[in-house]
């Protein structure tokens, strides 16, 4: 799931693995291993770099939430009830 999400958003941006690696400041082989499923975990720092670069949340990237299941922040939920 992790690698699929990285690849999905990388391709949405029209970037090669090398371009994503450069923008996120991570080694390209890491991107390759994630996308191929050889590596299915990552450090918090790597997750933050990739999420920021791809324009997604870390929660989405690691599978806590799907795109359409993002939780409503508590302050926004309170405003909706008012």
pTM reported for the whole predicted model? 0.76
* 45 domain-assigned: yes
By residue range, what is the domain housing residue 23?
2-68
pLDDT in tens, the chain (82 residues): 889 999 999 999 999 999 999 999 999 999 999 999 999 889 999 999 999 999 998 988 888 866 655 444 454 444 444 4
**Chain centroid offset of residue 73 CA:** 19
Residue matched to tokens 């029209």: 14
Indicate the burial class of 39 (C-beta count within 10 angstroms; 0-12, 13-18, 19 or more).
middle
Tally of domains within the chain: 1
- The encoded tokens of residue 66 equal 């799907």
CATH number at 19 reads 1.10.260.40
Query: Do 31 and 5 touch, CB atoms closer than 8 A?
Result: no
């Amino acid at each position: 799931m992790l690698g699929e999400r990285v690849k999905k958003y990388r391709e949405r941006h029209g970037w090669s693995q090398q371009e994503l690696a450069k923008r996120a400041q991570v080694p390209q082989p890491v991107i390759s291993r994630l996308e191929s499923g050889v590596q299915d975990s990552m450090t918090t720092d790597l997750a933050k770099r990739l999420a920021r670069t791809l324009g997604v949340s870390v929660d989405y990237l690691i599978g806590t939430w799907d795109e359409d299941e993002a939780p409503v922040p508590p302050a926004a939920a309170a405003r909706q009830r008012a």
